[in-house]
Structure 1
Amino acid sequence: MMPKRSVVGQPSSAKYHKLTRTGGDGYIDLQFERPPPKIPYKAILLATGLFVAGSVLIVVGALLLSGYISPQYSDRTWPVLILGALMFIPGAYHVRLAYYAYKGYAGYSYEDIPEFE
Structure 2
Amino acid sequence: MMPSRTNLATGIPSSKVKYSRLSSTDDENPSKIPYKAISLATVLFLIGAFLIIIGSLLLSGYISKGGADGAVPVLIIGILVFLPGFYHLRIAYYASKGYRSYS
- TM-score normalised by structure 2 residue count: 0.72
Deviation at 1:106, TM superposition (A): 1.1
Deviation at 1:26, TM superposition (A): 6.3
Q: Is the 8 A contact 2:38 2:89 kept in 1?
A: yes
Give identity over the alignment, percent: 56
Deviation readout 1:22-65 (Å, 9 max, x if unpaired): xx636886xx3543011111000000000000000000000001
Match of 1:62 in 2: 56
Q: Is the 8 A contact 2:61 2:67 kept in 1?
A: no
RMSD over aligned CA atoms reads: 2.3
Matched residues in 2 for 1:76 and 1:38: separation?
43
Unmatched segments (≥5 aa) in structure 1: 1-23, 110-117
Greater relative contact order structure (CA < 8 Å, 6+ sep): 1
- TM-score normalised by structure 1 residue count: 0.64
Match of 2:86 in 1: 92
Matched residues in 1 for 2:91 and 2:79: separation?
18
Are 2:103 and 1:81 aligned? no
Q: Map of 1:1-117 to 2, 5 A cutoff? A: 25=19, 32-72=26-66, 74-109=68-103
Matched residues in 2 for 1:61 and 1:104: separation?
36
Q: Is the 8 A contact 2:59 2:67 kept in 1?
A: no
Q: How many residues align?
A: 85
